[in-house]
Amino acid sequence: MAKGSSSPAERLDRYRSMRDFDRTEEPSGEAAPDGEARPAARGRFVVQRHRARRLHYDLRLEVDGVLASWAVPKGPTLDPKARHLAVHVEDHPIEYADFEGVIPSGEYGGGDVIVWDRGTWSPVRTDDPAAAIAGGELHFDLAGEKLAGRFVLVRTDRGGERSGKEQWLLLHKDDDDAQPGWDPEDHPRSVKSGRTNEEVKADPESLWHGDRPAAEAEVKVKAEGAPEGASAGWPPLPTWDGPTEDELAALDALGAKGRWTVQGHELALTNLDKVLFPGRDDEAPVTKRDLIRYHAVIAPVLLPHLADRPLNTHRYPNGVDKPGFWHKEVPSHAPEWLSRWRNDEADPGETEWYAVPDSVATLVWLANFAAIELHPWTSRLVDVHQPTYALFDIDPGAKTTWDEVLFLARLHRTALEHLGVEGLPKVTGQRGVQIWVPVAPGYTFEQTRAWTESVSKAVGRTVPELISWAWTKSDRRGLARLDYTQNVKNKTLVAPYSARPAPGAPVSVPIEWDELDDPDLHPDRWTVRTVVDRVAAIGDPFARLLGVDQVLPDL
């Protein structure tokens, strides 16, 4: 908790300790250098209305280069009779004072935040407010747009060792600014934007990632220089339920072939006991029935990554031991209900009709078709010329070790953090790692490819002994390639949660950055048999990339 003698950096320790700081060598919230204590005469104050698990107002006073902070469930009031609970919480970095937007769910304090009031404050009866706070009583004047006059914060309970939550009371003196009965909830709009929490939540301009260094924690989702159309955002996607237990039992009960009804669609399934993948280690082989079951069960997590996108597939009807082939054109025997999209720009001989997965039944149909690898387009139907991701593909060479792949992935992490760009890795199910960076609408593939190339070249320059830029595999001397050339319309990377054509049916799996440090991580660690449990336990890390309208910083 705040101590009078400690430096700003020390006072931020608690803020940082509550967040999952990575092992980057970048500084973490050291924007306020040591010993730069400012005269306490008049500092900034801000009150943020924050709808997290519970609504509260965060009262923050600038003290010695950080924001001393109290969470006030009922909010500050001008009513001199009110005594409102104020929980002393960790100091916040000064950069947070202007923040208004959304803290992504799952992160610390997840919810929406508005700048409810702001202005200046000055301590009363002391010139050492940090000492007064440490002593448990602070009298101060506020000059804000809503709040004014003299307030008192007084500690009533130091809180247990465990909770560390000191309880204080916040009250307003009965002075000229006092207004009996004044209720903060009657004044719900932001003094920064005029918007309510609800309006900010619906259309945020900023995201705050408290697990990043303070100077990089705020990510503008509609910064200046945003591409045209960015304000519209990506169209939202529906959500999907999985098959019922009864439906799965009916699949298990089928013979070698038969009709299966799932979510209202009847499918004629064939060769259900055919081995598509040999077993890995001493596991049983994976049959077409197993793949169909997997596609059905993983559908609620997989479909958001496929929906609204044309699909390329890599099919292995004779099993992954035999050569497969690319298949894009929707065949004439496809069911009526299959959603499809016609590529008006197709040249003669090129694929014209693409499947667009939008149901559990579509994924079942694809598995029955032995479409093992699913490669959705990087763009959506709203405009197939606008990528939704900038894609990094760390493609290991024959001599590249897994440790080197991990090292390259961590370099990308550092680079993206340095740029304040949100992205996440996924293992390919084969040997590599990809990094997916969501982008706002309005970019061309040329732009995302150029941006990705710049970042890749910068990363590659730091480890020339690991990287080759040669175009052909034979010229790469067994070295890895950082492949930015996939950022092209109708060039694709394998979908998250798609199976790969290898023994055991390994799966491409999104991971958290910290999982790169897990000694058990391998690029083909998870299979169609094991990834469902992982998703049930920790969810899909890529889910939070969906629909992020991120503007890429200029390089």
For residue 554, the 8-state DSSP code is P
Residues 6+ apart with CB under 8 A from 273: 256, 287, 288, 289
Nearer to Mn ion, 146 or 418 (CB): 146
Nearer to Mn ion, 99 or 353 (CB): 99
Of all residues in the shown chain, the one whose CB is closest to Mn ion is 50
Give the shortest CB-118-to-Mn ion separation in angstroms. 15
Give the shortest CB-155-to-Mn ion separation in angstroms. 19
Q: Is the dihedral of CA 267, 270, 272, 278 positive or negative?
A: negative
Q: How far apart are CA 516 and CA 530, in angstroms?
A: 19
Q: How far apart are CA 218 and CA 337, in angstroms?
A: 44
Give the shortest CB-57-to-Mn ion separation in angstroms. 8
**Which one of the spans 47-55, 115-123, 239-247, 277-285 is the region binding Mn ion (CB under 5 A)?**
47-55
Nearer to Mn ion, 195 or 410 (CB): 195
Q: How many residues in the shown chain lie near Mn ion by CB under 5 A? A: 2
- The continuous run of DSSP H or E covering 120 comes out as strand 111-124
For residue 506, the 8-state DSSP code is B
Give the shortest CB-545-to-Mn ion separation in angstroms. 25
Give the shortest CB-58-to-Mn ion separation in angstroms. 4
Q: How far apart are CA 325 and CA 313, in angstroms?
A: 8
Site for Mn ion in 53-72 (CB under 5 A): 58
Phi (first) and psi of residue 121, to 5 degrees: -140, 155
Q: How far apart are CA 331 and CA 354, in angstroms?
A: 9
Query: Cα–Cα distances in Å, from 246 out to 18, 72, 287, 469, 524?
Result: 44, 49, 21, 53, 31
Q: How far apart are CA 343 and CA 416, in angstroms?
A: 34
Site for Mn ion in 211-250 (CB under 5 A): none
Q: How far apart are CA 218 and CA 209, in angstroms?
A: 6
**Which one of the spans 45-53, 166-174, 178-186, 534-542 is the region binding Mn ion (CB under 5 A)?**
45-53
**Which one of the spans 48-56, 230-238, 476-484, 512-520 is the region binding Mn ion (CB under 5 A)?**
48-56
Nearer to Mn ion, 135 or 164 (CB): 164
Per-residue interface string for the shown chain with Mn ion, residues 95-134, x marking contact by CB under 5 A: ----------------------------------------
**Which one of the spans 28-36, 46-54, 170-178, 320-328 is the region binding Mn ion (CB under 5 A)?**
46-54
Site for Mn ion in 160-179 (CB under 5 A): none
Give the shortest CB-371-to-Mn ion separation in angstroms. 47
Residue selected from 16, 19, 50, 328 as contacting Mn ion according to rule CB under 5 A: 50
Closest C-alpha among 202, 187, 229 to residue 47: 187
Residues 6+ apart with CB under 8 A from 323: none
Closest C-alpha among 316, 309, 321, 333 to residue 493: 309
**Which one of the spans 52-60, 118-126, 210-218, 482-490 is the region binding Mn ion (CB under 5 A)?**
52-60
Nearer to Mn ion, 210 or 460 (CB): 210
Q: Is 492 helix (H, G, I), strand (E, B) or coil?
A: coil
Nearer to Mn ion, 42 or 201 (CB): 201
Give the shortest CB-116-to-Mn ion separation in angstroms. 11
Site for Mn ion in 405-424 (CB under 5 A): none
Nearer to Mn ion, 182 or 208 (CB): 208
Closest C-alpha among 246, 260, 355, 243 to residue 306: 355
**Which one of the spans 51-59, 172-180, 274-282, 422-430 is the region binding Mn ion (CB under 5 A)?**
51-59
Q: How far apart are CA 312 and CA 351, in angstroms?
A: 10
Nearer to Mn ion, 116 or 151 (CB): 116
Give the shortest CB-92-to-Mn ion separation in angstroms. 9
| Tokens coding 60 | 């923050």
**Which one of the spans 50-58, 275-283, 316-324, 376-384 is the region binding Mn ion (CB under 5 A)?**
50-58
Q: How far apart are CA 343 and CA 356, in angstroms?
A: 12
Q: Assess contact for 218 and 206: CB atoms under 8 A.
A: yes
Give the shortest CB-109-to-Mn ion separation in angstroms. 5
**Which one of the spans 44-52, 190-198, 428-436, 483-491 is the region binding Mn ion (CB under 5 A)?**
44-52
What is the largest distance, in Å, between two alpha-carbon atoms of the chain? 86
Give the shortest CB-89-to-Mn ion separation in angstroms. 7
Supply angle C-alpha 62, 66, 71, rounded to 5.
Answer: 70
Give the shortest CB-69-to-Mn ion separation in angstroms. 8
Binding residues (CB under 5 A) for Mn ion: these are: 50, 58
